[in-house]
Amino acid sequence: MGGKHKPCPNCGKELEFSAKHNALFCRHCESQQTIIRTSDFSAENSDYLQTLSELDEQAEVPEYIVANCENCGAEQQFPENVTADRCQYCDSPIVAAEYSTRPLRPSAVLPFKITREDALQHFRQWLSSRWFLPSKIKKQARIDKFKGIYLPYWTYDCETSAPYTGQRGEYYYVTVSYTTTVNGKTVQRTRQERRTRWYPAAGMIKHHFINILVPANHSLPEKLVRELEPWGLAELGEYQPDLIRGNQEQSYAVPLAAGFSDAQRQIEPRVREFIRRDIGGDEQRIHTVNIINDNIEFKLILLPTWVNLFQFHNQQFIFLVNARTGEVQGERPWSAWKITFFTFFMLAIVAAIIVFFIH
């Protein structure tokens, strides 16, 4: 089994996508080749319920692809749920997405816009802003640590309606008398105290949710992945292998239905906020709400991320860079001596202030 071969017309080496040139690029002879794209492409959704009825259990089975490198001929097995990567022997791009066993394939992609060099700069800026980070990590941040990965995401659109019951609270103020002691004498005073008057409320909110984003696998820490948003999905382009070449493409591991369950968890707090606005007043209580989602549609897309793994004291830390915006998110170790120094420094300042006021 081989991957899609894309030799350089000038020297025969493998071409790969370059974020710097926004084209296919040969690292050997620096030739460029334009990628032909659909100018009027619009990412279309698929019907959720209809697709669910057509899927089978195979959608949830881990996927492993064995591919031959067209450059050196070596056979290799991709990591779980990976459909494109670089050859581990000659570093040539291999795109084997056409051999994926997944019943659904990505329909749209945001190509890499931030280069590996730019990602390193964003990464170093992020490191320099973390004062309690061990200095060793800052010194050892290297560009060759970064790996370009296209992460799969589900996006969901739906028309949501939610009938509700609740209460609207409106503030009013009353004058309250109280006694207090002034100069050893008991005196009577008054003050204004706030009260809330509650009124019944009921109604229905309707909202058309668009592009609710759900990570479609958990190969990277979900908390960090979600913090990379926003992505700018209005710039999605048509999926094609030329945009993937040179980077890793991951396939989905979260089934379509499980993805929509995640989307529903994102919808609920937003619906409750809409209800509170609809109730109005100064305070709101929501007693019952029934969220109904209709006309559900979805698409599977790929979003670009630079990933850096760092070992420190036998622990692995992960840093991610949004390859469209440069947003950095990461796990971090803490420098014990820096924290200790800062603690003693602050204690010294507090002690100096106390001494100043005493004397």
* pLDDT tens digit sequence for 245-255: 999 999 999 99
Compare 13 and 134 and report the one with higher pLDDT: 13
Question: Cα(31)–Cα(9) distance, rounded to whole angstroms?
Answer: 9
pLDDT value, residue 43: 82
DSSP H or E run through 177: strand 146-182
Question: Cα(67)–Cα(86) distance, rounded to whole angstroms?
Answer: 11
Question: Cα(323)–Cα(19) distance, rounded to whole angstroms?
Answer: 9
User: Which tokens hold the place of 9?
Assistant: 């017309």
* pLDDT tens digit sequence for 102-134: 889 999 999 999 999 998 888 777 776 655 565
pLDDT value, residue 339: 45
Question: Cα(298)–Cα(278) distance, rounded to whole angstroms?
Answer: 28
Question: Cα(359)–Cα(355) distance, rounded to whole angstroms?
Answer: 6
Asked whether the predicted pLDDT for residue 57 surpasses 80, the reply is no
Section 294-307 average pLDDT = 96
CB 212 within 8 A of CB 48: no
Q: What pairing do the DSSP bridges indicate for beta strands 108-109 and 292-312?
A: parallel
Asked whether the predicted pLDDT for residue 135 surpasses 70, the reply is no
pLDDT value, residue 67: 84
Query: Which residues, including other chains, have CB under 8 Å from residue 130's CB and lie 6 or more apart?
Result: 332
pLDDT value, residue 88: 84
- Quick one: which of 118, 75, 113, 122 has its CA closest to 94? 75
Phi-psi region of 113 (alpha: psi -120 to 50; beta: other; left: phi over 0): alpha
CB 64 within 8 A of CB 76: no
pLDDT-derived band at 341 (thresholds 50, 70, 90) equals very low
- Quick one: which of 280, 278, 282, 267 has its CA closest to 164? 278
